Amino acid sequence: MRIYQEADYDAMSRRTAAIIAAEVIRKPDCVLGLATGSTPVGAYRQLAAWERGGLLSFGDVTTVNLDEYRGLGPDHEQSYRYFMRTNLFDQVDIRLERTHVPDGLAADPEAECRRYDALVESLGGTDLQLLGMGHNGHIGFNEPGPAFVRETHVVDLAKSTIEANARFFAHRDEVPRQAITMGIGTIMSAKRVLVAVSGADKAEAVRKAFCGPITPEMPASILQLHRDVVLVGDVAALSGLREAGVLQ
């Protein structure tokens, strides 16, 4: 695992964007696995600025997103399709037909999960999978539990996840209680995994994920078994790794 320790959120975002941009330049028709939430917003903003400046193009890139809330359509302001269009897709030259997000309104969610796994497999997996990390160690919406779930699946969101996401909704009761998420096996099939973390509130999760035992109670800990992981974090988020002696 390679670790980049950056001074603050802005520096973390630039480093994250640079790694993604390098993949796009190296392989213009690459498959990017993308994440939502507050952490990658700065990186997406930087990528859009570089694209506008003519430094890279997303014209041949294909994207697959990690997850989507069940019950939210693509035009709902809190859906992850809407998030991606607002923060990246509508800001760059990517072709929307090459962007993929699970269908939160699918009449048969189990069939949608199977379709999504088949899609990722048909693309040969992702060349680079961007991940954030929840306070409880979730990646995508793979919550702590008794076992790792390999396939894309419907998940009941943990109370801590609902509370963390409530700030994006007018009222806590509006936060969906379920989501469709890529499974651990789908995530681990990526050729490279890029984990971006920011803030002191993520320090304990980062320490447990990369210094503790591999357990489904800490979903991100499975990344210890991946052959190519890059961790980018600010000083605050990586403080637990410094305490554990992993970083100076």
Catalytic position from the list 6, 23, 67, 112:
67
What does the block give as tokens for 235? 């000083």
Helical ranges in the chain per DSSP H:
9-26, 41-52, 80-87, 109-122, 159-165, 184-188, 203-211, 239-243
Tokens 């109670």 correspond to 217
What does the block give as tokens for 9? 């959120």
Task: Please give, one letter per residue, the 3-state secondary structure of 110-145.
Answer: HHHHHHHHHHHHHCCCCCEEEECCCCCCCECCECCC
Catalytic position from the list 87, 136, 142, 165:
136
115 φ, ψ (degrees, to nearest 5)? -60, -40
Catalytic position from the list 143, 153, 165, 234:
143
136 is catalytic: yes
Residue type, position 150, single letter: R
67 is catalytic: yes
226 is catalytic: no
76 is catalytic: no
Please identify every residue annotated as catalytic.
67, 136, 138, 143
